[in-house]
Amino acid sequence: MHKETEIKLRVSRETLAALREHPLLNKRNKSGWQSRELLNQYFDTPERDLAAAKVALRLRRDGDVVIQTLKTRGQSVAGLSQRNEFEWQLPKAKLDLKKLDAECWPEQLADVDKKTIKALFTTDFTREYAEIAWGRGKAKVVIEAALDLGTVVAGKHKEEICELELELREGAPEALLELAAELSAKLPLMPCDISKAERGYRLLDAGSYALSLPAAELNAQMSLDDAFAALAWQLLGSSQRLAEQYRFNGHWRLLQDWVDNLWELRALASSLGQAGPRASTRELRNSLDALLEDWRPLVLAGIDDEDVRRAAPEQFAEELLDTRWGQFSLETSRWLLARAWTVERNKRGDRQGAAQLANWLNVLLAEEAKALNLPLYHRQPEDLAEQLPRIERLLAWLHHARQVLESPDLDRLFGELNKLHELANLPISDEVLEARVHQAMAVFQSRGWKHLLRK
């Protein structure tokens, strides 16, 4: 068994060709590019028990060699994945169920009848690969770069495989992101943690690809730094999965959720105060602002305009052909991995970052609620849109962390504040202005809001 640490990047055929000749890879290429044909069959039970357990079982023919591989549940964050992998070389291309013993077989699959395991789909592709190595400080880094081109076939359905896969052989995981970020400077690379196996399952069942990652596990006693890191990783990873699925099927709701993830990440980053000095979050905020400037108006326009919704998938495809999304995703992953918002902050910032989440959050929400000054918008509802950043900071924390607070009726407050947020985003009309007045009053008079103001 060995632990596999890798990052997958979806690319176009043109980008794949450019990577083969990329000066950075050529400079660090210690083996030269080699090529092999990889023919793969993936197996599961009729009920797809292995997929449910996040386990992949395959047979791979690599020239004259047949390899049986079992990949168990791992973790994948923002495109960077780690999981355990077991391999056995076999004399022929037939699954050997005896290899799947207690040493490798997950306990949650103990009751599965292995005799029911059958082939479900294939992923056949050409892999060009090379050993990429360089010195990173005093440490050596070795990465296998693989350029994969082929197809996933499940019954009558198929999808192209066209991706760059970077697998760590020696060195720190950060090196994978550093290399990918350097390559993304001039080439469109889309981080996506969908495996070839997940693509096969998605062809069999379009709804099988999980869009949301597990919710961040927050508690009242954890530090603000740890809470922000957990939420930011979750939002970044979810945004990448939403982008992948919207690229695949063009369902409008996915684009809306993608934009929501981006503005929530923007709101959280701007709420940190001295725990995240503006200089340390500037690049992240600027990147998010650029994406939101283009995509938020489009999503708002598409709520009532079918033509906008119909044209959006093609526009999104053009976004992915640019370098912006890949650069943002990879640089933000690096930023989070380094916890860069903590760098060069002052002692007060260190104290805020180490503060217990519940204590810090009570203070933040009270300050934001008082500064919002809702009674003003009973009289001047036309100015409510100016308060969108503040409303979004409140919403982002109430959405993800209200369970750590002891304040009453926060679920209801979140719902009412969300309605006010929607109205603040709508174009002004007599009807919208009247609705803003009523909704601002509903929020102001709620028990949850009054409790925040008393903090």
CA torsion sign for 195, 197, 200, 201 is negative
Size of the chain in residues = 455
Q: How far apart are CA 284 and CA 265, in angstroms?
A: 9
- The terminus-to-terminus CA distance of the chain in angstroms comes to 54
pLDDT of residue 79: 54
Distance (Å, whole) CA 106 – CA 72: 7
Separation CA 421–CA 399 (nearest Å): 13
At 454 the pLDDT is 81
Ordered DSSP codes for 16-53: HHHHHT-HHHHHHBSS--EEEEEEEEEEE-TT-HHHHT
Counting as low any pLDDT under 50, the low residues of the chain are none
Q: Where are the domains of the chain?
A: 1-210, 356-453
Other beta carbons less than 10 A from residue 79's beta carbon: 28
**Residue 359, Cβ neighbours under 10 Å: how many?**
13
Assigned architecture for domain 1-210: Beta Barrel (2.40)
Amino acid (one-letter) located at 270: S
Strands (E), 171-308: 190-191
Residue with tokens 């056949």: 124
Q: What is the pLDDT of residue 80?
A: 62
Q: Which of 205, 125, 117, 120 is nearest to 154 (CA)?
A: 120
- The CA distances from residue 301 to 348, 375, 423, 425, in Å, are 43, 29, 14, 10
Q: Cα(160)–Cα(154) distance, rounded to whole angstroms?
A: 12
What would you report as the CA-atom Rg of the chain, rounded to the nearest whole angstrom?
25
